[in-house]
Structure 1
Amino acid sequence: MFSHISVGTNAFERAEAFYGALCGALGLKLRFRDPEAAAAAWQPTASDRPLLFLTRPFDGQAATPGNGHMVAFLAESRATVDVCHAIALAHGGSCEGPPGLRPHYHAHYYGAYFRDPDGNKVCVCCHRAE
């Protein structure tokens, strides 16, 4: 469905550490890293798309989080959701909703919500029964 999702940052090294740890826990691999351009991307191990693309905004303005915008990662298990939430907080993220069931979405929805160090809202969720 998606080719790529771009997330803007004002502090590339910090954001790269945050997303690198998160993507590693989700089984995504680094596709490229260019510190001079302040850009990096991760992809699934079995294909070249979709990409999560991290960069400073191309227009040279400050990166700002949007109200209502969120990147949601699919996790294979509830345990992975828990690990990702802990990784996010350990790498400068802030909690927007701890790991847990959200039955108002559906009976097996298990998710965690947090903000990255730049303030972008992120979710990691699992749709499988335990």
Structure 2
Amino acid sequence: MYSHTTIGANDLDRARDFYDAALAPLDLRIRFSSPEMIAYGAGGRPLFLVVRPFDGRDPSPGNGTMVAFMAERREQVDACHAAALAMGGQDEGQPGLRPQYHAHYYGAYFRDPDGNKICVCSHHPE
């Protein structure tokens, strides 16, 4: 459906530590990295890229912008959220059902150390 999603980070070492922990429950791993970029994925596309902004200015999260990762199981949602908070992420919504979206939507929300809003969700019944 899409090739990749990109967010900016001020400190790629800090971002690597954060996303290594937060994305591990989803089996998303670093696929490649450079001094300017870290790419996470499950193999092939799509990729989730954390980059130093190409224009050299500070990164900033967008208003209304959010990246959502899909989990197969609700316990993965719980584990990602817990790992993100343990790594200094900010809670934006505890794991739980969100029936306003649909009967089986189970999601959690957090912000990374640079303020980017991230969602992890499962659409499967338990």
Instruction: Sort the TM-score into its range (normalised by shorter chain).
Output: over 0.9
Stretches of 4+ aligned residues off by more than 4 angstroms: none
Q: Distance in 1 between matches of 2:29 and 2:119?
A: 19
Is residue 104 of structure 1 aligned with residue 100 of structure 2?
A: yes
Structure 1: where are the runs of 5+ without partners?
none
For residue 85 of structure 1, give the secondary structure of its aligned residue in structure 2.
Answer: helix
Q: Distance in 1 between matches of 2:123 and 2:110?
A: 18
TM-score, normalising length from structure 1?
0.93
Q: 1:1-130, aligned counterparts within 5 Å?
A: 1-34=1-34, 37-44=35-42, 47-130=43-126
Give 1:92 shift. 1.1
Paired residues, what number?
126
**Per-residue deviation, residues 13-61 of structure 1 (Å, max 9, x unmatched):** 1111111112221111211122xx23110111xx410001111100000
Q: Distance in 1 between matches of 2:7 and 2:57?
A: 14
Give 1:110 shift. 0.2
For residue 31 of structure 1, give the secondary structure of its aligned residue in structure 2.
Answer: strand
CA contact (8 A) 2:92 2:111 kept: yes
Q: Distance in 1 between matches of 2:23 and 2:86?
A: 14
Give 1:7 shift. 1.0
TM-score, normalising length from structure 2?
0.96
Q: Distance in 1 between matches of 2:26 and 2:65?
A: 21
**What percentage of residue pairs aligned between the two structures are identical?**
58
The aligned amino acid for 1:124 is: V
Q: Distance in 2 between matches of 1:28 and 1:41?
A: 10
**How large is the RMSD of aligned CA atoms in angstroms?**
0.9
CA contact (8 A) 2:24 2:80 kept: no
